[in-house]
Chain A
Amino acid sequence: MNHGLRLLSVIAVLTLVAVLAAVPHVVSSGFTLSLLNQIGIGVVFALSYNMLLGQSGLLSFGHAVYFGLGGFTALHVLHTITGGDLPLPVPLLPLVGGVMGLVCALALGWVSTRRAGTIFAMITLGVAELVAASSNIIQGYFGGEEGISGDRMSGPVLFGLTMGPQQDVYYVIVVWMLLSAGLMYLITETPLGRMANAVRDNPERAAFVGYNPRTIRFMMFALSGFFAGIAGGLFAINYEIITAEAVGINVSASVLMMAYIGGIGYFFGPVIGAVIYTLLSTVLSAYTEAWMFYFGVFFLIVVLYAPNGISGVLAAHTPVLRAHLMHRLMPAYATALLPTLVLLLGAILLVEINYHLSISGNYDSEMSILGVGFDAASWWPTLAGLAALVVGGALLWRTLPYVGLAWSEVRAELAGEAAP
C-alpha cells in the first residue's frame, strides 16, 4: 500500500470513529440508538460468519451456536458479577462471550472442519440441531422457556460507564465492533488468512505447498467462533436477556443472509448486509406483518441477480465512477426505475391484501396502504395489484435491455481507456 492510500484510510477510520462517537450527542431518540446497537452486534456477527463463508469457503448452517453460547455464558457471568462474587466490569463481558465461542468452536470445530463442502455444511446443521435440542434438556444453563436474564448495572464501573443509559451500551458496542472488525480485517492479511483463501480456492494445491487444509479450516473456524461469541456477549449486554432461540437455526439463517446480501467476496460486504438486515427487520416489521416475506424475496433477488451482493454491485460501479461515466448509466437506470416501482407497488398490494385477509378474515376486510383505504375483500384492489404487476413487469422487461446496452457501452469505454 502506498503512503497516500495509507493516509487516506487512516483519515477514513478516524472520521468513522469521530462520527460514531458523536452520534449519541446528536441523536436523542432511543429508537435510533437501539437500532444502532443492533446494527453493531449484527456487524460483528456477520463479519465473523464471513471468515467462514467468504474467506474459507465454508458454508455453515450453525453459526448461531457460538453466538448464542457466548451470550448465555456472558449472562451467567453477569449474574456472578451482580452477586458480587466477581469484580469484572460489565463492558469487558463480551470477552467472556468470545472465549466461550472460541472454546466451543475449538471443540465442535474439530469435528466439523474435518471435511469441507457439502459434508461440512451438513455437520454444522447437525451440530446446530444438537445444541438447539440440548437447550430443552440442560435447563440450568439455557433457562428453559424464560431464558436467562441479568442486570447490566452491576459490578465495577469502567470509564464512568454505569451501563444504565442506552448510550453507555452504545459506546461499549461501538468500541467492541471497531476492535473486532479491525482484528478480523488484520487476520485476512496474515499467512493464515491468505491460506484460508487458498484452501477455499483449491485445498489440494494448498496441501502441496505444505499446508494441511484441515488445520487451516479448523483455525479459521475457531477464530470465527471467538468473534461470534463477542457478538453474543454484546447481545447479552444490550438486551439483558437471552433465550434458546439465540442458538437456533433462524439466527444461523439470518447471519448467512446478512453476509450474503452484503456480499461475501469483500471484507466489508457483511457490514452492509448487517445494516440492511437490521433496518428491514426493525423498521419494515413496524409497518407490515409480511416483512419476512419481503426479506425472503429480496434475498432471492440478490442470490439470482447480484450473486456478489450489494458490495459487488457497488464495486462494479467504482471504476465507472472513477472514469466519470456514471452519467452514461443514469438515463437507463432512470428508465428502468418507473416500471420497477409499478411492479413493486403491484406486488406489495397483492401481498398485503393476502396477508390482511388470511389474518383477519372477511369480517374486518378494511385496510389501507400508503394512506389509501379500501376493502381487501372486494375485487378491484386485487385487480389493480395484478394490473400493476403485469404492466410493471412487461415494461421492466422492455427497459432492461437498455440498461444492458448502457453497461456494455461503458464497459467498452473503460476497456478502451485501460488499453495503452
Chain B
Amino acid sequence: MTWAPAIELDDVHKSFGTTSIIQGVSLAVGTGERHAIIGPNGAGKSTLFNLVSGRLTPTAGRIRLKQRDITGLPPYRINRLGLSRSFQITNMFHRMSVVENVRCALYFAMGYGYAFWRLCPRLRDVHDAADALLERLQLSARRDVPAGLLSYAEQRALEIGMTVAGGADVLLMDEPTAGMSRSETERAVALIHELSENKTLVMVEHDMQVVFDLATQISVLCYGRLIATGTPAQIKADPEVKAAYLGVEAD
C-alpha cells in the first residue's frame, strides 16, 4: 500500500483575541497510522483537535481530510466525510439509554438521516449493529440504563463506542483514558486497539504508557508548535523532547 495522508495540517494558526494558541502547525498523518499527540498542559493539543474536527475554525492555514479541504466546514459535514471524535469530558446523550446512544450514532451513518417517516423499532440493521457494538464494549448488560447513570469507566467505553459506531475511518480521541485506574486503562487500550483496527487513529494522551502501547507515530506539541514528529523510539531519543517534556520522566 502506498503512503497516503489521512489528515494534513498546513501551517495552521489559531488565536483567541491576542492570545495565540496554535502557532503554525504542519503535520501529515498517514492512513492507518496510530498517531499520538503529546505535550505539556496548555500546549494546545485539545485546540488542535477542535480545529481538525470542525469545532473551531483556524485563524490561518488549511486542513485536509483524505486530501479534501475541510477548513471551516461544520462538524456534521466533517463527520459525514468519515472523521469521528471522542471527547475529553464525557459527552453523550445523558438522558437516553445506553443502547439508544449507540443507535443515535448509527442513524445517519446507516442512511436514515432526518427521516420522520420511518419507525426506529423497525430498523433491524441499526438494532443489530448497536447490539453487536454493545457486545464488544461489554455494555450489553447495561443497555437500558440512562447513559448519565453509567460508572465513569463505562461512560468512557460508551464514548469510545459512539466514536467508532458510525464507521468513520479517521478517529480522533481526546485523552480516552483520562481519570482511569491502571486496570481500567489497560482494558480501554485493548478496546481502542481492537476498534481502531485498519483505521487511522489520532489521539491526545497524557499517559506515556498508553502512548507507547498504542502509537506508531508520536508528535510533540509545545506552546502551539510541533517540536518533533517520529516513531516512539525516535521521540524517546530526541534531546529537544527530553528537555521540553520527557525530561522529568526520563531521569
Contacts and interface: CB of A to CB of B under 8 A. Distances in A.
Interface residues of B, number: 37
B121 A207 contact: no
A338 B243 CA distance: 76
A209 B104 contact: yes
A202 interface: yes
B93 interface: yes
A96 interface: no
B94 A202 contact: yes
B194 to A, nearest CB: 21
A219 B114 contact: yes
Given A189-B119, A191-B120, A206 B104 contact: yes
Q: SS class of chain B's interface: helix, strand, loop or mixed?
A: loop
B96 A210 contact: no
A355 B74 CA distance: 58
A209 B79 contact: yes
Nearest to B107: A191
Contacts of A213: 76
A289 interface: no
A205 B76 contact: no
Contacts of B115: 190-192
A193 B105 CA distance: 14
Contact of B103 (A187, A193, A194, A208): A194
B92 interface: yes
Contacts of B85: 208
A202 B101 CA distance: 11
Given A191-B118, A194-B96, A198-B104, 20 more contacts: A1-B121, A189-B119, A190-B120, A191-B114, A191-B115, A192-B115, A194-B103, A195-B114, A197-B96, A201-B93, A201-B94, A201-B95, A207-B74, A207-B79, A208-B79, A208-B85, A209-B84, A209-B104, A210-B76, A210-B108
Interface of B: 53, 55, 74-76, 79-80, 84-85, 87, 91-96, 100, 103-105, 107-109, 112-121, 123, 162, 165-166
20 contacts: A189-B120, A190-B115, A190-B117, A190-B118, A190-B120, A191-B114, A191-B116, A191-B120, A194-B104, A198-B93, A198-B104, A201-B95, A205-B91, A207-B75, A207-B79, A208-B85, A209-B107, A209-B108, A211-B76, A219-B114
